[in-house]
Chain A
């Protein structure tokens, strides 16, 4: 009896942790709506959404966010135009062409790109990229849509690469062998069989990448110019733009709490959240469709089931190519690169009329050349950013820099309190997120069959995963700092960051629990162990490496984030380290943000801070990658 009670109790605890994600999403939406509602009332939903002028500072303030929505969509679209070819090329290279050794170098390298904090990207974009664009295109200012798109594209690369690489790798071997056996070349196999078979996985990867790009704040603020206008003409990528996230990032700090403008900003946050919700839900839908499709396909063992060979798609494919080509050339014309546009048109024409005359072998060489070029480009981007930060940052690094507090507004002195503050923040965040996340994963994997409730919980987790970090920041400010009246302090920051990394913990734990063979559980249960005993003694221990990996990835992510803690947990300077959870701290990403935007003449320390932040985050990521690879090897051997 007692043991049954205990079982029930344990089960309900796990259920609560799992349901937590749903509650959090509901809470975030509720609190944003609570503070944003009045703007919809005063301005009107339609005027708010479709009004063209965002000008809260004018004599008669105007709160129309259509220019911001369009800006967000354009920057994201541009990012995808930049990122999709590169990342798919890179994914194909990693999964199909690279030798195992090459693969073991490339995968971690692309994952390192994910580890670079967004404020470091922004810092790089502000100083190097925007100047480069200004000089290259001979335009007055380099703070443009193009700069934002390139930067966001780079930031979306790792997401798209890793998800689509997974999709390509999981195409069954038989497809490949069958195609090669019919005499197709490797490139024909890749382009006609493997990529189409992995298409829905790749689509999901792109949508996840879009989600990543749309929610980014700090990098966007620093490079797009933040001008609330629609580019004229609309494909003018050299116009400056402003995104929804950028508006939140630069205006929230100064606005008077409770004013109309304040409510308008929360209205913006609601719209942003809804857009990301839609995008993420469609990614989830596509992925689950893919999973179902694959299950069905495997059951039938039928080639014909691959959706890519449906007649409609075959008909549509050439048109979509033409449309894409037309779009790209139009855009190049618009920014004055008509020479490049001409070359592209010429190449397309040659391709169209000459493709039958070119030998398959030459096509293959050309295609592989492109794929390798994409991979090299990704590696080059990584090398340029890392190299820039390291070369400029190294001179600042010294023992004093690492162990002393800042003086003269951070222009001199060190960053010791910021390093410790960041460690405190992430330690607290992971202590909160780990039990909740592991509990939720255990509930989802061990305690339930797939049903309505798990679907709800999973959706909650996915939505939380796609929520932009600045929205967490606003939620933390409205709920923790103002409503609960905790104030700007370490505790608020830990909770906000914990909510942000919760989905990562849940997902990685879930993955590692799923990899535990069912026979182990059955064996344990057959011996008379209760379910809780089975979980505690049989299932969790071998899953620990996976859980640890997830935790470390979360730590890395939390350490590099600026937007969530900006209004919630940090001070610019403090003399002593915090002695309680109710004191604010310094944090590396915020310190870097202030140094690079607020303190002129801090160049050496600015680069030094960027380098230390980079090393810290990359160190966390590297450890996670090493642990994961070690276990992947173990699992195979």
Chain B
């Protein structure tokens, strides 16, 4: 009996220890949330990749945004494309900084999930990087599609690659498997390697893939040896650590771990993928990004989208590396 009692004491102590630890973690629940909110807001300017200019404008429009937020203490939900997610999140951060009671929840999942969530009326705003199909539109006659930004798709290679530029025909030949070596493009290819091209693309339900298949592949088939990753970031990561890789990502994701190849057009111009070339539509692989609502947006959703479409919101779009709507 004695052993039994001490056993109980032991279990109790163990459980208590666990409880205390979780309390410690969750203990910040009460003061943590209240503390963290203003702190979050104040760290945003310092930490974001956004240029100070964008932040300044965001702050300048604070009054504008605040006046719009008669709808305080509400929750706005956004779901969908991971390509649109960085814009939605950054705009949400700026919007929430000026409206301390508003909670904006952003989740990924993919364009398909975003559109379905709108059809099921489970979310306030759906995000999509792909055109909404006729079948999807047919399921929701109220569906309201808003273009919120332009985007270019950059062809990326590893920095070790010596290839300087590329034509869309070459890209197509690489992705359909007829060109398999970097040296076939002329030049030194990738030094200290066998020059065998590693194809990296997106999964077959990605909006970026759909668009790439239409515009670059002209609806011919991708090689089956293509590695399929499920996000822009994963493609970036793989190309950055694989010397022989080629990939394609939204220009919003470009950074110095990869090299974005300029495109040689049919009339011999060499066009660098950039905000400017996407904006004037000289860069050949560009598309639109969408937010989708059920009927005309109202209340907080309307405020949020208006803020996103305002000059301040479009500054944030630029700060995230995407292309603002023509202004």
Chain A interface (Cβ < 8 Å from any Cβ of B):
53, 55-59, 126-127, 130-131, 134, 138, 140-143, 221-222, 225-229, 240, 242, 249-251, 253-259, 261, 400, 402-405, 407-409, 411-414, 416, 419-420, 423, 481-482, 485, 487-488, 542, 544-545, 548, 552, 566-567, 570-577, 583-584, 594, 596-601, 619-620, 623, 626-627, 630-631, 634, 637
* Cα separation A296 to B2 with both chains bound (whole Å): 38
The reply to whether A485 and B219 form a contact with Cβ atoms under 8 Å apart is no
Shortest distance from the beta carbon of B87 to any chain A beta carbon, whole Å: 10
The reply to whether A55 and B204 form a contact with Cβ atoms under 8 Å apart is yes
Given contacts A59-B221, A408-B49, A634-B3, contact A600 B253 (CB under 8 A): yes
Question: A626 contacts which chain B residues (CB < 8 A)?
Answer: 14
**B224-250 interface with A by 8 A CB criterion:** 224-234, 236-238, 241-245
Please give me the residue from chain A that is nearest to B258 by CB atom: A600
Please give me the residue from chain A that is nearest to B92 by CB atom: A573
Shortest distance from the beta carbon of A470 to any chain B beta carbon, whole Å: 13
* Cα separation A253 to B115 with both chains bound (whole Å): 11
**B1-48 interface with A by 8 A CB criterion:** 3-4, 7, 10-11, 14-15, 17-18, 21-22, 25-26, 28-29, 32-33, 35-37, 39-40, 43-44, 47-48
The reply to whether A256 and B115 form a contact with Cβ atoms under 8 Å apart is yes
* Cα separation A273 to B207 with both chains bound (whole Å): 29
Question: A254 contacts which chain B residues (CB < 8 A)?
Answer: 109-113, 203, 205-207, 230
Given contacts A403-B36, A407-B44, A409-B86, contact A249 B238 (CB under 8 A): no
**B159-199 interface with A by 8 A CB criterion:** 193-194, 196-198
Most buried by B among A405, A408, A574: A408
* Cα separation A570 to B77 with both chains bound (whole Å): 12
Known: A140-B196, A600-B253, A627-B11. 14 other contacts (CB 8 A): A55-B222, A57-B213, A140-B193, A143-B242, A258-B135, A405-B37, A408-B47, A408-B49, A409-B85, A416-B32, A419-B25, A574-B104, A583-B105, A626-B14
Our pick among A404, A571, A572 for the contact of B40 (Cβ within 8 Å) is: A404
Our pick among B79, B104, B115, B238 for the contact of A488 (Cβ within 8 Å) is: B79
The reply to whether B22 and A548 form a contact with Cβ atoms under 8 Å apart is no
Given contacts A55-B224, A253-B230, A420-B26, contact A126 B237 (CB under 8 A): yes
The reply to whether A598 and B25 form a contact with Cβ atoms under 8 Å apart is no
Question: A227 contacts which chain B residues (CB < 8 A)?
Answer: 224-228
Shortest distance from the beta carbon of B72 to any chain A beta carbon, whole Å: 13
The reply to whether A623 and B244 form a contact with Cβ atoms under 8 Å apart is no
Please give me the residue from chain A that is nearest to B115 by CB atom: A256
* Cα separation A576 to B96 with both chains bound (whole Å): 11
* Cα separation A493 to B37 with both chains bound (whole Å): 26
The reply to whether A226 and B90 form a contact with Cβ atoms under 8 Å apart is no
Shortest distance from the beta carbon of A315 to any chain B beta carbon, whole Å: 44
The reply to whether B228 and A253 form a contact with Cβ atoms under 8 Å apart is no
Question: A623 contacts which chain B residues (CB < 8 A)?
Answer: 14, 17-18
Question: A576 contacts which chain B residues (CB < 8 A)?
Answer: 33, 103
Shortest distance from the beta carbon of A241 to any chain B beta carbon, whole Å: 10
The reply to whether A487 and B230 form a contact with Cβ atoms under 8 Å apart is no
Shortest distance from the beta carbon of B289 to any chain A beta carbon, whole Å: 15
Our pick among A255, A402, A545, A627 for the contact of B112 (Cβ within 8 Å) is: A255
Please give me the residue from chain B that is nearest to A555 by CB atom: B18
Shortest distance from the beta carbon of B23 to any chain A beta carbon, whole Å: 10
Question: A59 contacts which chain B residues (CB < 8 A)?
Answer: 219-221
Our pick among B14, B135, B205, B210 for the contact of A253 (Cβ within 8 Å) is: B205
Question: A567 contacts which chain B residues (CB < 8 A)?
Answer: 109, 113
- In this assembly, does B82 line the interface, its C-beta being within 8 Å of a C-beta of chain A? yes
The reply to whether A545 and B233 form a contact with Cβ atoms under 8 Å apart is no
Shortest distance from the beta carbon of B10 to any chain A beta carbon, whole Å: 6
Question: B241 contacts which chain A residues (CB < 8 A)?
Answer: 127, 130-131
The reply to whether A575 and B255 form a contact with Cβ atoms under 8 Å apart is no
* Cα separation A627 to B12 with both chains bound (whole Å): 10
- In this assembly, does B63 line the interface, its C-beta being within 8 Å of a C-beta of chain A? no
Our pick among A226, A229, A251, A627 for the contact of B14 (Cβ within 8 Å) is: A627
Please give me the residue from chain B that is nearest to A256 by CB atom: B112
Question: A584 contacts which chain B residues (CB < 8 A)?
Answer: 77, 105, 107
23 residue pairs bridging A and B, Cβ less than 8 Å apart:
A56-B205, A57-B205, A141-B238, A141-B244, A226-B203, A250-B229, A255-B205, A256-B115, A261-B204, A403-B32, A404-B35, A407-B40, A407-B43, A407-B47, A407-B93, A408-B44, A409-B85, A487-B120, A573-B89, A574-B105, A598-B232, A626-B14, A637-B3
Question: A481 contacts which chain B residues (CB < 8 A)?
Answer: 122
Chain B interface (Cβ < 8 Å from any Cβ of A):
3-4, 7, 10-11, 14-15, 17-18, 21-22, 25-26, 28-29, 32-33, 35-37, 39-40, 43-44, 47-49, 75, 77, 79, 82, 85-86, 89-90, 92-93, 96, 102-113, 115-117, 119-120, 122, 133, 135-136, 139, 193-194, 196-198, 203-207, 209-210, 213, 219-222, 224-234, 236-238, 241-245, 253, 255, 257
Shortest distance from the beta carbon of B86 to any chain A beta carbon, whole Å: 6
Question: B136 contacts which chain A residues (CB < 8 A)?
Answer: 256
* Cα separation A419 to B7 with both chains bound (whole Å): 31
The reply to whether B203 and A251 form a contact with Cβ atoms under 8 Å apart is yes
Question: B110 contacts which chain A residues (CB < 8 A)?
Answer: 253-255
Please give me the residue from chain B that is nearest to A488 by CB atom: B122
The reply to whether A598 and B234 form a contact with Cβ atoms under 8 Å apart is yes
* Cα separation A259 to B115 with both chains bound (whole Å): 13
Question: B14 contacts which chain A residues (CB < 8 A)?
Answer: 623, 626-627
Question: B237 contacts which chain A residues (CB < 8 A)?
Answer: 126, 596-597, 600
Shortest distance from the beta carbon of A367 to any chain B beta carbon, whole Å: 40
The reply to whether B49 and A571 form a contact with Cβ atoms under 8 Å apart is no
Question: A423 contacts which chain B residues (CB < 8 A)?
Answer: 22, 25-26
The reply to whether B207 and A572 form a contact with Cβ atoms under 8 Å apart is no
Given contacts A134-B242, A597-B233, contact A488 B43 (CB under 8 A): no
Closest 8 CB pairs of A and B: A254-B110, A254-B205, A57-B204, A253-B110, A571-B107, A250-B230, A412-B47, A225-B227
* Cα separation A413 to B7 with both chains bound (whole Å): 43
The reply to whether B105 and A573 form a contact with Cβ atoms under 8 Å apart is yes
Question: B15 contacts which chain A residues (CB < 8 A)?
Answer: 548
Question: A600 contacts which chain B residues (CB < 8 A)?
Answer: 233, 236-237, 253, 255, 257
Question: B204 contacts which chain A residues (CB < 8 A)?
Answer: 55-57, 251, 261
* Cα separation A296 to B50 with both chains bound (whole Å): 74
Question: B120 contacts which chain A residues (CB < 8 A)?
Answer: 482, 485, 487
The reply to whether A242 and B35 form a contact with Cβ atoms under 8 Å apart is no
The reply to whether A57 and B85 form a contact with Cβ atoms under 8 Å apart is no
Please give me the residue from chain B that is nearest to A130 by CB atom: B241
The reply to whether A598 and B197 form a contact with Cβ atoms under 8 Å apart is no
* Cα separation A226 to B222 with both chains bound (whole Å): 14
Question: A250 contacts which chain B residues (CB < 8 A)?
Answer: 203, 228-230
Most buried by A among B22, B75, B193, B244: B22
The reply to whether A572 and B203 form a contact with Cβ atoms under 8 Å apart is no
The reply to whether A598 and B231 form a contact with Cβ atoms under 8 Å apart is yes
Shortest distance from the beta carbon of A575 to any chain B beta carbon, whole Å: 4
* Cα separation A172 to B137 with both chains bound (whole Å): 69
* Cα separation A261 to B116 with both chains bound (whole Å): 14
Shortest distance from the beta carbon of B199 to any chain A beta carbon, whole Å: 9
Question: A634 contacts which chain B residues (CB < 8 A)?
Answer: 3, 7
* Cα separation A626 to B226 with both chains bound (whole Å): 47
Question: B102 contacts which chain A residues (CB < 8 A)?
Answer: 575
